[in-house]
Amino acid sequence: MKKTALLIAVLLLLTPFISCKPQKLPVKDIKIIRQDGTEFTVAAEIAIKPEDRNHGFMERKTIPDGTGMLFIFERDQLLSFWMKNTPHPLSIAYIDSKGKIRNIFDMNPYSTDSIISTVSVRYALEVPQGWYKKNGITEGDTVILP
């Protein structure tokens, strides 16, 4: 009986650590169309659930070029992101419900500064820092959303 109680106690203590392990999110190809018609594709993990959106790219040391994470929200709103526990520098695009990029910001590793959209948006797409600039993607370009 004591062994069973001890085993239950150990499992209860470990459960928070096991449940905090990041889950593999579904990946979809997200197309971005520049205003000149040039198209780019990002293989983006899709974060829909609040716990997935809250965790994002935390603890990820490398994020390959051409990949990212698309955060999907239930309604248009001012969005705010930070880089707590995120070692890899990122760029974020805030995207409205019609797929138009409204803001692009660079974010610094481990920063707890809030990066806030300037208008209400529905989506955010994080990619490795500099990817938007390198590909000439700017505010006003269009994202084809899933």
Token pair of 76 as six digits = 């248009």
Res 7: pLDDT: 37
The Cα 123–Cα 145 span in angstroms is: 9
The reported pLDDT for the residue numbered 23 is: 58
Report the candidate in 97, 52, 121 with the shortest Cα–Cα distance to residue 105: 121
**Residue 146 pLDDT:** 80
Q: What is the pLDDT of residue 88?
A: 95
CATH superfamily of 24-144: Protein of unknown function DUF192 (2.60.120.1140)
Intervals of the chain under pLDDT 70 = 1-23
Looking at residue 24, what is its pLDDT? Answer: 79
The overall pTM is greater than 0.85? no
